[in-house]
């Protein structure tokens, strides 16, 4: 259950706006690369988060933001987060994947909803694994149904969208 606390911390940080500064700086603090945020907090076992700014646009209202976090004890956490901006509420709660014919259902575990300047926003994430993200990036066919109590959105990822996921995986491979 300890990892659940880490996940909540990670999501809270993103909901603040992904704008962070190191809480503790030492001579050994790594250089922050462009598009990356690292957080250090010595009062907690949670060490940091990497928030590379790869966005996969699904339509005019919805985009995917793959995320990665890590902890001092070596645990790695992978998330597939979604950001919706539109005129109507969906109250997203489940995401259904069909990856090369294999069905998978993911329950949304963190959601924040708001109205900003008259526009409805919903931020929501699912926990994932590195292998599932790799499957999505290499699949011939990836379909998603993002379901909520007020409606659904259905997408099929094209090659350019899967290439963005590969960019995320390349980033992880080169920087971990």
pLDDT in tens, 25-71: 333 333 334 444 444 445 554 444 555 678 899 999 999 988 887 76
How far is residue 153 from each of residues 62, 84, 132, measured CA to CA in Å?
A: 9, 11, 21
- Let me know: does 22 contact 29? Beta carbons within 8 Å: yes
Cβ-based neighbour number of residue 20 at 10 Å = 17
Rounded to an integer, the average pLDDT of 81-92 is: 93
Q: Which two tokens stand for residue 154?
A: 């259905």
At residue 98, the 3 state secondary structure works out as strand
Residue 13 pLDDT level (bands cut at 50, 70, 90): very low
pTM of the model: 0.71
- 29, 35, 160 from 64: Cα distances, Å: 29, 16, 13
pLDDT (tens digit per residue) in 150-163: 999 999 999 999 99
* Six-digit token string for 172: 């992880």
If DSSP codes are grouped into helix, strand and coil, which group holds residue 51?
Answer: coil
């Amino acid at each position: 259950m300890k990892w659940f606390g880490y996940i909540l911390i990670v999501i809270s940080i993103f909901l603040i706006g992904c704008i962070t500064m190191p809480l503790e700086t030492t001579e050994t603090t790594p250089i922050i690369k462009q598009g990356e945020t690292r957080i250090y907090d010595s009062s907690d076992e949670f060490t940091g988060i990497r928030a590379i700014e790869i966005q996969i646009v699904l339509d005019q209202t919805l985009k995917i933001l793959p995320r990665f976090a890590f902890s001092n004890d070596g645990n790695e956490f992978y998330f597939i987060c979604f950001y919706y901006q539109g005129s109507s509420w969906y109250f997203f709660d489940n995401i259904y994947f069909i990856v090369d014919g294999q069905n998978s259902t993911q329950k949304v575990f963190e959601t924040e909803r708001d109205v900003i300047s008259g526009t409805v926003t919903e931020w929501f994430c699912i926990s994932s694994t590195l292998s599932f993200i790799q499957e999505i990036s290499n699949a011939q066919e990836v379909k998603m149904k993002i379901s909520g109590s007020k409606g659904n959105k259905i997408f099929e990822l094209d090659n350019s969208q899967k290439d963005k996921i590969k960019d995320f995986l390349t980033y992880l491979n080169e920087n971990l």
